[in-house]
A and B are shown apart, each in its own frame.
Chain A
């Protein structure tokens, strides 16, 4: 019994500490209440979850739900008024803007996309032209780019992918990708496929790179956050939150929070670069 009371007291004081620590950024939510539904781009989810958790802990009158679906779904849902914030890993297309002319975009982070290969592959750097030739099906063996004598297995993303869209525009220079390439449905599936196939080449968000895959040095530039910030690494995109019209006070407070100091910490933690 005593122990129970003690732990409640300890927990309570810890919570108080936490609240006072974050009070600066979370103060803007005091007095606000309501619900924010978020859907869309899957790269955004970790950052959204962090923000939602912190805000809901600080102010229990606010309920925030976070769902995926992809960039297309995010834009469509916010346009139809089904969610308050629709995330996208690309800017709103002209066709979408025509259908939902009141959409407003808030870019909050920069994400780099890097070619990835299996860690056991002896190749470590490629030129953009070599990568284009690989994805076009002109280079089919790793020995042609300085690797072992083994067939190259290409892994591609689906057309709905924001990651594919930026890689295709900024690294592949909009070439036609060979039809025999395998297609995987997510950044996670890409990592699994490349991590398990010694002959693989694919591409993924820099935030997703870990020890299971090797990021390829592109034209001599390492795909790191630093190089993406200073502009020397070219294959980057912005992550957006979109609202339909001017955001309501609560939604505005959420956007300000994500783009503030706490948001920046969370964004950097998940491998993206915050936009001030």
Chain B
């Protein structure tokens, strides 16, 4: 997404190559098309593969077994409901924390804060995108988890709270950079007019530019959520991985992604293993739904089909 804006510029540059009148073809076009087709085929193959392997669970009417509350593979119970709940709880709470923060940072950068600090702050957030997930996880295990354990004296510290704090930090740059790029397009177009009308910069930002950036605002939320749902390592390292629905934020939870990572090396002939494909299918469909939703919002926001 973040690349979209820079990508847009590239696209116009590429457009020069294909125009005039679209006759002259960019020499690598065939290559690019086949690459695109190949990637699309892989996605479909992936879906087919997941569906095929989880099909037995669906047609044998074992769905109830799957959507039950208990994961006790040795007693023949393969409920992945706690993991679905854990995933949603973690992703939503991380988003609820990171989104207002991200929005605040963007408004700060675009005029609510001193201009002198805007650039360093943006650079800092951009730098955060380059930090590998495992570093966040590692630092959390050694700093955040013991801190939470000592601070609240409830549970081991490996908890929903620890994971959501870490995950919020991880998805923050995604949110900031998306909103920032949208504001970057909207603000320059509106600021001059607003200033001419005598509207203060803060009011212009809050009442004109922000509402005009609704696509970016929504896209940031959706992609932030998607990133949170898809993340594996942070949940695996700091959420505790207890396969049950938590009573409080101090309880240990297990996400679907962490669940797959934990169980994937079991005996591959077992039902335990098969149930993973259902989990994978749910994750796949979730991200597919997120992308479709984004596409719909985009086409509604920009009916000309220009993209962002």
Contacts and interface: CB of A to CB of B under 8 A. Distances in A.
A72 interface: yes
Contacts of A95: 267, 269-270
Interface string A165-205: 00000000010100111111100010011001101100000
Given A176-B75, A197-B149, A182 B158 contact: yes
B69 to A, nearest CB: 9
Given A95-B270, A192-B141, A196-B145, A182 B265 contact: no
Nearest to A174: B74
Contact of A160 (B149, B158, B264): B264
Interface stretch (B46-54, B214-222, B238-246): B238-246
Contact of B267 (A96, A151, A155): A96
Interface in A58-100: 69-73, 75-76, 93, 95-96, 98-99
B12 interface: no
Contacts of A96: 267, 269
A179 B263 contact: no
A196 B237 CA distance: 14
Given A196-B145, A197-B149, A176 B254 contact: no
A180 B252 contact: yes
Interface in B226-255: 236-237, 240-244, 251-252, 254
A151 B157 CA distance: 12
Interface string B185-217: 000000000000000000000000000000000
A196 B263 contact: no
A185 B75 CA distance: 21
A183 B240 contact: yes
B149 A182 contact: no
B243 A159 contact: no
Contacts of B244: 179-180
Main secondary structure of the interface of A (DSSP, over half): mixed
Nearest to A76: B268
A237 interface: no
A5 B35 CA distance: 53
Contacts of A176: 72, 75
Give the size category of A's interface with B: 20 to 34
A153 interface: yes
Given A183-B240, A200-B156, A160 B265 contact: yes
A182 B242 contact: yes
A153 B243 contact: no
A226 interface: no
Highest count of chain A CB atoms <10 Å: which of B252, B261, B267: B267
A38 B268 CA distance: 18
A158 interface: yes
Among A75, A183, A196, the most chain B Cβ lie within 10 Å of the Cβ of A183
B267 A199 contact: no
Contacts of A184: 241
Interface string A139-175: 0000000000001010100111000000000000010
Interface in B120-157: 141-142, 145-146, 149, 154-157
Given A99-B269, A192-B141, A179 B262 contact: no
B262 A180 contact: no
Contacts of A196: 141-142, 145-146
B73 interface: yes
B272 interface: yes
| 9 nearest A-B pairs in the assembled complex, by CB-CB distance | A70-B265, A183-B241, A153-B156, A158-B262, A160-B265, A160-B266, A182-B240, A179-B244, A95-B269
12 contacts: A71-B265, A72-B267, A93-B267, A99-B269, A153-B156, A158-B263, A159-B73, A159-B263, A180-B244, A182-B156, A183-B241, A183-B243
Given A70-B266, A93-B269, A182-B240, 20 more contacts: A70-B265, A72-B267, A93-B267, A95-B267, A95-B269, A155-B156, A158-B241, A160-B264, A160-B266, A179-B244, A180-B244, A180-B252, A181-B252, A182-B156, A182-B158, A183-B241, A184-B241, A185-B241, A193-B141, A197-B146
